[in-house]
A and B are shown apart, each in its own frame.
Chain A
């Protein structure tokens, strides 16, 4: 465990299913899911920004639905399937449509908010495979990019949907 805890604090065993892999960890009940993913499991792709649900950097998929990892406790996430940004790549290691689209369209600048955008958009284009520009803006409205790279991120949403459609057609 990399985070120091007072020795007296109660800890509980927690079993998390992340990107198809089961992890057994022992954490205090107050351990936020975002911290458990980063510090206890070592999946540092999930970023922690505001820690109160506003910025969206920690967004992961909980049973496929975009959710804030900073607004869940690890102990409460035992019976669900979690997908982090590390889980988005294809099984052969190649980039998923949304990852490729961010590369194509310069959808990231400093990259801090990127994991939350990628998970949000991956679910967004799954549910709406043919978004228009307005749908794309709506899809990303809950995520903040402090580089203000939104124009390229909107373009990335549209490109990601296009790649996804191409993949499905082939």
Chain B
């Protein structure tokens, strides 16, 4: 299967890229192409102009400081996964990136590209939502930041304007006292998840559960994040409170049936994974607290 004809442009500056996009709002931006090229090849999509931003090395940077992790639109999944500073500042990134397709796809695919592809079956859009991150977009009119909660507006649809390019994403650092976990069930490792769950659990100084958020992959039309704090009124994770959290989460999700699994099965996976992942995030928070005390 081959893509329909298009005009190829490879700008050498962001300004040039933005000018091209302003002139041709139907154009598409190519970074890693691991989702875009299959869409073009299967003729599910066609473009008059393809703007290849691989000639803009400024967009390939990862920077980490106390506030969090910033990564440009050309940072490949594999580079972000291998970045020790990024993993230390926000361990959710590495925890989820390990589940993004296969290493070969991660070598080429970009994390920012995956975010703006806005597939609710993709791990990284959900992680940006769960970590309360932001996306910086640029156009010839200027730059703006979009909070993750305002970014995903429908299946494969974001709030970017046609002339905007996503240039950088920011994921805040994990707050002290918190822990994270991510797990998913897929038919084969590296396939799209039937259901995936990420969690951030915050503990207070006494080790009691203070705040709980969970994010869901493949069980809603847009990346879903649910606040589950109220399921743990006594601050304890027990079989009963974890089951209640799973029930509450499923009540806010809307899984669909497809060839790989029924809606009921996906809901059951969401329940089971919620309990497993919240517990793992609590264990992670405890381990981090213990490490901090001993160091």
Contact = CB atoms under 8 A, between A and B. Distances in A.
Contacts of A56: 102, 104
A71 B33 contact: yes
Given A29-B50, A30-B5, A71-B33, A142 B41 contact: no
Nearest to B1: A51
B108 interface: yes
Contacts of A59: 104
A67 B55 CA distance: 18
Given A51-B41, A52-B42, A142 B105 contact: yes
B37 A65 contact: no
A67 B2 contact: no
A61 to B, nearest CB: 10
A66 B103 contact: yes
B189 A141 contact: yes
Contacts of B8: 12, 29, 73, 75-76
Contacts of B6: 29-30
Given A76-B30, A142-B102, A142-B105, A53 B5 contact: no
Nearest to B188: A141
Interface size class of A (residues with CB under 8 A): 20 to 34
Contacts of B52: 73, 75-76
Interface string B200-235: 000000000000000000000000000000000000
Interface residues on B, range: 20 to 34
B263 to A, nearest CB: 25
Contact of A52 (B4, B38, B78, B104): B38
Nearest to B47: A30
Given A29-B50, A67-B104, A53 B34 contact: yes
Contacts of B78: 65
B7 to A, nearest CB: 7
Given A72-B37, A141-B190, A67 B4 contact: no
Contact of A71 (B5, B38, B42, B54): B38
B105 A68 contact: yes
B286 interface: no
Interface string B3-19: 11111101000000000
Interface in A71-124: 71-73, 75-76, 79, 120
Nearest to A59: B104
Interface string A8-22: 011010000000000
B262 interface: no
A9 B5 CA distance: 7
B64 to A, nearest CB: 23
Contacts of A53: 34, 37-38, 105
B98 to A, nearest CB: 11
A66 B107 contact: yes
A154 interface: no
A28 interface: yes
A127 to B, nearest CB: 10
A83 to B, nearest CB: 13
A70 B34 CA distance: 10
Interface in B99-121: 101-105, 107-108
A3 to B, nearest CB: 9
A32 interface: yes
Contacts of B190: 141-142
A71 B110 CA distance: 13
B104 A120 contact: yes
A62 interface: yes
A67 B103 contact: no
A70 B41 contact: yes
B103 to A, nearest CB: 6
A149 B42 CA distance: 29
A81 B251 CA distance: 51
Contact of A72 (B1, B33, B42, B50): B33
A10 B41 contact: no
Contacts of B10: 75-76
Interface string B168-198: 0000000000000000000011100000000
Nearest 6 pairs of A and B residues by beta carbon: A142-B102, A29-B8, A52-B38, A65-B107, A66-B104, A30-B3
